[in-house]
Structure 1
């Protein structure tokens, strides 16, 4: 894959119509499943008008899903606008409100489906409107291929649940204009998110690659009988998981070196890592392993329905976010 080269916009005259990233323009949320409903609630919580479009879902179901998450936000201490933005449903992309200033696309994880939606969008929206895809693992370069205005297409990947977790990974494609990336970063900051620009396109971006590495080893340890699913969760939530909410791997090991920092850590303990890396598992997710995972997860958590666990997770995340607002130094 060749390195990404900044691509100047092919329509500089039309670019002047792009609103400021902190404007009160309508936001189009395209695809209103778990991720899209969370995005819709968040944008509304921050005071932006939101238009929902998802031909595969009933309007009332979309409204209810967004309203449930929005109600959670409005009752929380998570900063938002004094008045929530209106949430409306359009039957199709041909019925959008005027002045849509940003698109958050959350369609099914299919390259063909996303490309088809972008072709339809390009026939409706002005060329300056930034389009961000919530894709988990597809690349912006592939999504924007075939677009008439690929310079405004990028990845804006949230972490689930998007109405609570601040992270958004912003990834440019080979044809994405740097001005569009900068605008998207400013927009996400303006609506209270924590955008991180990923410097190179890779499958799964950054956060999901890290979590996939951990999940792979968790599968290996479970399959080998080293620990049960419940025990693996306990190890993380009562140990490194607590620290990870405050500091990532590099600060962790920098502090692990004591007064000498990361250099001292690498000098004294760095050589212990290759031995562990060499012993990490490469499990097969075959039928037998899948059955083992399902059996153990249900044994640990099957006594309560998933929505109850989801509600408890969200309440715990709200409490953790409140603590982080107190503990994190201002930037």
Structure 2
């Protein structure tokens, strides 16, 4: 299991798969993408060409080149010589089980097979692998993978500790921020954090406490700015003043628990959905999804560069 990872095969070239391709190319790896959609190659090329200037801003690794991208619509051809597979196929358990069973039969046992799945567990995905299910692992990125550093790594019932360690080391070696999940949960953890926050936002909107627009302002111009610097537990350490987290836990945790007990359960009906849609439309100011995403990515790039400068990378 000591194979060096120099060639990555990306299965599925939708938004996540295309973003992974761009990221791996920027890190100087050989990448082969595979997808059966007739327009897949053209769409992939367009995505990577659009993403490349931002990747150049982040800093390309030695050997990084668009010329190191290959494409083959035939899966078995694409898999030849793979050191790691980053699977980004449809979120259907029947599809993934058959795909992993097939890959398990034809790939050497030291090739890691990592899934970008956000909703399926590796225990279910690897269920039909009869030879080497221990090399299968979840490597779930935060979108878009070529910009956001987070990767959630979680094994299945048959995944080996060695595979998890290799996956963690691989992602970290490319500048990612991999985190180890010791238990499989629906949505992993980062999406659950988002869901927990949005649940309370919807509740407050439904209760007429504030508008959709002001709920977004409260997040992005309040704690959201801090979350871009450090996590909430570290924030509470600052909140504890000179006494740090010890003082916070001793004197401020009880009031926080009181707030936790009042958090609500929104009734997400058609009216609430329409209110949210209207609130979002009011904030767009004519900007398209692509324009808004580009603006977001540029702010994130600036934040990452600043974190690096002040030693919080």
TM-score tier after normalising by the smaller chain length: over 0.9
- CA gap 1:138/1:240 in 2 versus in 1, 3 angstroms: same
Offset of residue 329 of structure 1: 4.7
- The 8 Å contact of residues 24 and 31 in structure 2, kept in 1 or not, is answered as yes
Offset of residue 207 of structure 1: 1.1
Matched residue, 1:103? 85
2:75 to 81, 93, 97: 93
Matched residue, 1:5? none
Give 3-state SS (helix, strand or coil) of 1:144's partner. Answer: helix
Matched residue, 1:321? 304
Alignment of 1:81-230 (within 5 A): 81-84=62-65, 86-96=68-78, 98-148=80-130, 149-230=132-213
Q: Deviation string for 1:252-280 (max 9, x for gaps)?
A: 11221112222211222211122211211
Offset of residue 81 of structure 1: 2.8
In proportion to residue count, which structure has more helix?
Answer: 2
Alignment of 1:222-301 (within 5 A): 222-301=205-284
- The 8 Å contact of residues 101 and 129 in structure 1, kept in 2 or not, is answered as yes
Matched residue, 1:78? 59
Offset of residue 103 of structure 1: 0.6
Q: Deviation string for 1:98-152 (max 9, x for gaps)?
A: 3210011111222222212212322332222101111112211111111122101
Offset of residue 97 of structure 1: 5.7
Offset of residue 68 of structure 1: 1.9
- CA gap 1:211/1:191 in 2 versus in 1, 3 angstroms: same
Offset of residue 301 of structure 1: 1.3
Q: TM-score, normalised by structure 2?
A: 0.93
- The 8 Å contact of residues 98 and 128 in structure 2, kept in 1 or not, is answered as no
Matched residue, 2:43? 61
- The 8 Å contact of residues 93 and 121 in structure 1, kept in 2 or not, is answered as no
Give 3-state SS (helix, strand or coil) of 2:95's partner. Answer: helix
Q: Which runs of 5+ in 1 are unaligned?
A: 1-14
Q: Which runs of 5+ in 2 are unaligned?
A: none
Matched residue, 1:7? none
1:19 aligns with 2:19: no
- The 8 Å contact of residues 171 and 177 in structure 2, kept in 1 or not, is answered as yes
- The 8 Å contact of residues 29 and 64 in structure 2, kept in 1 or not, is answered as no
Q: Deviation string for 1:24-72 (max 9, x for gaps)?
A: x220111111111110000000010111111135221222222322343
Offset of residue 79 of structure 1: 4.7
Give the alignment's Cα RMSD to 1 decimal.
1.7
Give 3-state SS (helix, strand or coil) of 1:81's partner. Answer: coil
- CA gap 1:283/1:124 in 2 versus in 1, 3 angstroms: same
4+ aligned runs moved over 6 Å, structure 1 = none
Q: TM-score, normalised by structure 1?
A: 0.89
How many residue pairs get aligned? The number is: 310
Offset of residue 284 of structure 1: 2.5
